[in-house]
Amino acid sequence: MAELVGNLLVAQSGGPTCAINASVAGVITEAGKHEFIEEIYGGLNGILGILNEELIDLNDEKSKAIDGLKYTPAAALGTCRYKIDFKKKPEKAAQDMDRLFEIFAAHNIRYFFYAGGNDSQDTSHKIHEEAVKRAYELRVIGVPKTIDNDLPHTDSCPGYGSVIKYNATTVMEVGFDVASMATDDGSCCIIEVMGRSAGWIAAGTVLAKRGNPANPPHIVLLPENVFEADKFLAKVKETVEAYKYCVVVVGEGIKNAAGEEVGADKTRLDAFGHPVLAGAAEELKELVQGKLTTKTRTVLLGYAQRAAAHCASLTDVTNAFACGEAAVRAAADGQSGFMVKIVRNAQPDGAVKWATGLQPLADIANVEHFVPKDWISEDGFMPNEKFVEYARPLIEGEVRAPAEGGLPKYVVLEKNRVEKKLPPRA
């Protein structure tokens, strides 16, 4: 394979995580090892910024800052939820694609890496196909990222291990708190976590049990299961009777038998047309207090869970970095149209060795991966041993960001702009 001389562009998309910057650090680090990769550019706010020719020069950043990306949460390059949507807006999408390849040509971009979830892998796939169609020599590799852990074919998604480490730690700590207040009246705490349709995030909190049924969480409500109020209330009652307290974890997207989201605000839609969700825990609280008169409080972790770099998983961040490196290696080797995937190699001693592989983007885009049915208890309220075996290695190891004045010292990039060469976007 002939060495393709040209510039590299990396960008981030979708909801931030505390491991997505580690992937960018991996891309930059590996790119520096290949002489035919000349400039290393970052696109600001994903495809949206790239369409506006908002590029920054990553070779201008201090090497200390690049290293700091490994423990800095959120998207250091900025992110977006912009989608090149050939189905709903074919004309706009065609215009966007033309503009994108003008930008690529103007800056001699020959390597493109896009870190994101399902929608972003779809975007990468379309860009790869367009490059082939236009005979523009471009190597496109998708870098997996999503706390939702719902990308297919990869063992897990960078960002997921950290979010469940933080959430499981929180469930443990809240459990200690509620248990220590539990007198004969009993009390309940409902913790709402992210997860619109796949329950990976909620399920991951089972790790807080550490093998003891008495430990919280006592009930985990996954969006994969139909929510049945009566069964739920019976389970809360049973738990409070047994332990004097009950910690419930609920994935934000749980639905009733009619398919309606519990606590969804149907009057507001996000950019992709999904209803805004924020009320599952509050609705369950009303239910428990109303029907059982058990004192109930809620915790809504929201953005805090996906940004909690102070409690990141070293395994997760290491895998995220490796995905960035592997993407560049694959492209340097002449590959295009793939997503990097994480591969787990279980060792005879129970340890796990991690590797990376490649999967055609065509297999990834818009396919959602759910928690397998046989990884959940029969009553549907708790992930089982199979899930625990899967999830436990993902939270191993602590990332220790440097501290300053009692707070973590995260990195902010200088973001020196690359000079624009094109007129503004129409």
Cβ(316)–Cβ(165) below 8 Å: yes
CB of 49 to its own copies, least distance (A): 8
Between CA 216 and CA 195, with CA 317 as vertex, the angle to 5 degrees is: 45
424 to each of 145, 163, 274, how far by Cα in Å? 30, 39, 31
Give the end-to-end CA distance of the chain in Å, rounded to a whole number.
38
Out of 148, 150, 155, 316, which one is annotated catalytic? 148
Euclidean distance between CA atoms 417 and 290, whole angstroms: 57
Specify which residues 265 forms β-bridges with: 276
Fill in the DSSP letter of residue 4.
-
148 carries an active-site annotation: yes
Cβ proximity to its own copies: between 208 and 221 the closer is 208
Cβ proximity to its own copies: between 304 and 346 the closer is 304
CB of 180 to its own copies, least distance (A): 4
Cβ proximity to its own copies: between 207 and 221 the closer is 207
Cβ proximity to its own copies: between 321 and 338 the closer is 321
310 to each of 63, 70, 159, 168, 315, how far by Cα in Å? 22, 12, 13, 14, 14
CB of 294 to its own copies, least distance (A): 12
The residues, any chain, with a CB within 8 Å of residue 365's CB and separated by 6 or more, are 118, 121, 122, 125
DSSP string of 312-364, one letter each residue: -BHHHHHHHHHHHHHHHHHHHTT--SEEEEEEEEE-TTS-EEEEEEEEEGGGT
CB of 341 to its own copies, least distance (A): 22
Between CA 234 and CA 241, with CA 240 as vertex, the angle to 5 degrees is: 90
Cβ proximity to its own copies: between 228 and 286 the closer is 286
Cβ proximity to its own copies: between 110 and 285 the closer is 285
Q: Which two tokens stand for residue 289?
A: 């207090």
CB of 278 to its own copies, least distance (A): 6
CB of 424 to its own copies, least distance (A): 14
CB of 271 to its own copies, least distance (A): 9
Q: Is 131 helix (H, G, I), strand (E, B) or coil?
A: helix
Q: Which two tokens stand for residue 405?
A: 């004045």
Residue 262's nearest CA partner among 306, 201, 221, 292 is 221
Cβ proximity to its own copies: between 150 and 192 the closer is 192
Residues lying near its own copies in the complex (CB under 8 A): 12, 15-16, 18, 45, 48, 72-81, 165, 168-170, 172-174, 176-183, 189, 191, 207-208, 210, 268, 270, 278, 282, 285, 289, 295, 297-304, 306-311, 313, 315, 392, 395-398, 403, 405-408, 410
What region does 404 belong to: left with phi over 0, alpha with psi -120 to 50, or beta? beta
CB of 161 to its own copies, least distance (A): 9
For 89-92, the CB contacts below 8 A with 24+ separation are: none
> If residue 246 lies in a helix (H) or strand (E), which one and from where to where?
strand 245-251
Euclidean distance between CA atoms 230 and 257, whole angstroms: 12
- Residue 260's Cα: distance from chain center in Å? 25
Cβ proximity to its own copies: between 198 and 207 the closer is 207
**Catalytic positions, please?**
148
